[in-house]
Amino acid sequence: MNTVQSGTKGTVHGIISNLVLAHIDGPVAQNEIAYVEHEGAELMAEVIKISGGLAYLQAFESTRGLRPGAGIRFTGHLLEATLGPGILSQIYDGLMHDLHAMTGLFLQRGDYTSALDLDKEWAFKPLAEVGQQVRAGDWLGNVDERGLAHKIMVPFKLTGQYTIASLATEGLYKVQDTVATLTDETGQEVAVSMLQKFPVKRAVRAYREKPRPFRLLETGVRTIDTLNPMAEGGTGFIPGPFGSGKTVLQQAISRQAEADVVIVAACGERANEVVDLFVEFPELDDPWSDRKLMERTTIIANTSNMPVAAREASVYTAMAIAEYYRAMGLKVLLLADSTSRWAQALREMSNRMEELPGPDAFPMDLPAIISNFYARAGMVYLNNGATGSITFIGTVSPAGGNLKEPVTESTKKVARCFYALSQRRADSKRYPAIDPIESYSKYLEYPELQQTLNEQIAPGWTQQVNELKSLLMRGKEAAEQINILGDDGVALDTHLAYWRAEVVDEAILQQNAFDEVDARTPLQRQKYLVELILQVARTSLHFEQYEDIAPYFKQLINHLKQMNYSPFDSDAFQKYRSALDDILAERLLQNT
């Protein structure tokens, strides 16, 4: 279980910012948690390196005023997430301390709170039976957590087979009450409560199989779902320069995506943007239920003005919570904003320990760290045959918009979806500013997902998507030719190629996240829109002069945009559709 015997003590030998060097009098383990005594408080820290009689600790608090000789208490436990009913709708810091329970305008050093309400009673219903053989992750019972069936499971730390010796009857229990007793092969008993703890940097292995993703995750964002779909249990990332809309896009996905649980890890994001989450989410209606969105959301907040070292912990804490809910057979959407600042925290600690630097002074093993983290996402078959999934989407904030920097390059190697935000599109107010040419989804290469798309949306759907991408590519080439040679220096077919791509851009790629109707587009409506636009693109149109082309296509685009703002199949929607058909028919009549 990667713990050592508790009771080891130490004293501070030196301090370098939030790096504390300590003399130790006994054994300690990598990633073990310790508490440093300072002015009547205990500052939480984590062992990140052991060398001889010295332990290197990264403190999760400011070390200002700390002096050599201060005492240190080692706990014998790793950095762990507290897992149990009551996590949903909570706002935690990077170490899973409840921010709601803290007092004052500013976080006080050593002010730690319980992650769960230990006094609240939950209505437990047994799902297993006495005498049943179980192992880690198997369901013993459930409680209702804001409309979700929160499974009470065999603790993830247990290994091997166990027999249920006793199981609580249906009734009200607190999270620390024993609800089951298990016996191992030697007859030793293990008491199980609704609360368990698990190291955040170890992946939960409580599943039978981890297949390749084969189902589409509907996000409601057309440029993602239509052109470069995200698979349920997939991984993706959103790189882009500052101000290109990364945070807004992530928030739009979190509000609208087809997920049972949403976890947002604000690891180093600016505090004012995270406050928007705190204010807006409790007021937003969940599009998938009649509840508020916050009821199925958990926020891990470690903003840029909070302790730097806790940024690293925050992403691992978020992933551990996601794995916990995945083991219940739920669809979990995990969003991290931004992983660049997580990597910067790793760089700071690496530099302070005087390790050999890699590119841009990031740790040499940064690609391995990112790869191991992304690998924890995915769809799984649980021991009972049910499926659960973690879909992970991170944002990257490359300095100066340089997509060749180490964090972006390392992430690009492991994430299967790449949604590149374009400064050019952002400057021209084309949101979401995802570049349709540079972006890609490798899941489209999976035969399993291709089959699902063709069955779930429409036969031949992947061919239609490729046709849209071809229109956009030809439109980009046409725009470059027009820009170089001028409007009158290119053929009319070049103008037509450009404006057909503009129709795709305006009607599909661009989406108003603040409009009640356009903010989310269901798959069937996307199918209708794609088929309509391809019908327009395939229509053979002839013009005598290029001056007539732009006004004509602007008419079409205006009607398509008005359709996007109208409820699907409503009277207003049909009115704009009829007007669009009339414009096409009139042009065809003129051509004859």
Question: Is 98 inside a domain boundary?
Answer: no
How does pLDDT run across 276-314, given as a tens digit for each residue? 778 888 888 888 888 899 999 999 988 877 777 888 899
Whether residue 466 is found in the same domain as residue 435: no
Residue 1: the pLDDT is 38
The token pair at 490 is: 């290119």
Say whether both 310 and 397 belong to one domain: yes
Q: List the CATH number of the domain containing 160.
A: 2.40.50.100
Q: How many domains does the chain have?
A: 4
Q: What are residue 263's DSSP bridge partners?
A: 298, 334
Cβ count within 10 A of residue 17: 16
Angle subtended at Cα 520 by Cα 519 and Cα 524, rounded to the nearest 5 degrees? 145
Contact predicate 31/199, CB 8 Å = yes
**pLDDT at res. 6:** 56
Could you tell me if 66 and 176 lie in one domain?
Answer: no
| Residue 102 within any structural domain of the chain | no
Buried b (16+ CB within 10 A) or exposed e, 423-438: eebbeeebbbbbbbee
Check whether residue 477 and residue 421 sit in a common domain: no
Spatial CB neighbours of 320, under 8 Å, sequence gap ≥ 6? 81, 83, 198, 199, 200, 204
Element (H, E) at 81: strand 80-83
pLDDT of residue 4: 43
Cα–Cα distance for residue pair 375/422, rounded to 1 Å: 27
In a domain, 212, yes or no: no
Q: 508 and 542 share a domain? A: yes
Question: Which of 24, 49, 78 is a domain's end point?
Answer: 78
**Residue entry with tokens 């008419």:** 555
What residue type is assigned to position 134 of the chain?
V
> Would residue 446 count as lying in a domain?
no
Both 59 and 148 in one domain: the answer is: no
Instruction: Please count the other Cβ atoms lying within 10 Å of the Cβ belonging to residue 170.
Output: 10
Q: Domain with 356 in it: what CATH number?
A: 3.40.50.300
Instruction: Give the range of the structural domain holding residue 249, as residue numbers without chain letter.
Output: 222-439
Task: Note whether residue 211 is domain-resident.
Answer: no
In a domain, 4, yes or no: no
Domain membership of residue 213 (yes or no) is no
pLDDT in tens, 428-480: 999 999 999 999 999 999 999 999 999 989 999 999 999 999 999 999 999 99
156 and 49 belong to one structural domain? no
- One domain for residues 310 and 414: yes
Measuring CA to CA, how many Å separate 175 from each of 62, 96, 115, 510, 590? 32, 17, 12, 47, 75
Query: Is residue 164 located within the same domain as residue 73?
Result: no
Whether 419 and 338 map to the same domain: the answer is yes
Low-confidence ranges of the chain (pLDDT < 70): 1-6, 592
CATH at residue 64: 2.40.30.20
Q: Are residues 484 and 569 in the same domain?
A: yes
> Which tokens sit at 462?
């992947």
DSSP of 151-173, one letter per residue? EEE--TT--S-EEEEEEPPSEEE
Domain harbouring 469, CATH code: 1.10.1140.10
* Claim to verify: residue 419 and residue 276 sit in the same structural domain: yes
Predicted confidence at residue 164, as pLDDT, reads: 98
**C-alpha distances out from residue 429 to 100, 249, 274, 425, Å:** 37, 14, 23, 6
Of 152, 176, 194, which residue sits at a domain end? Answer: 194
Q: Which helix (H) or strand (E) holds 501?
A: helix 492-504
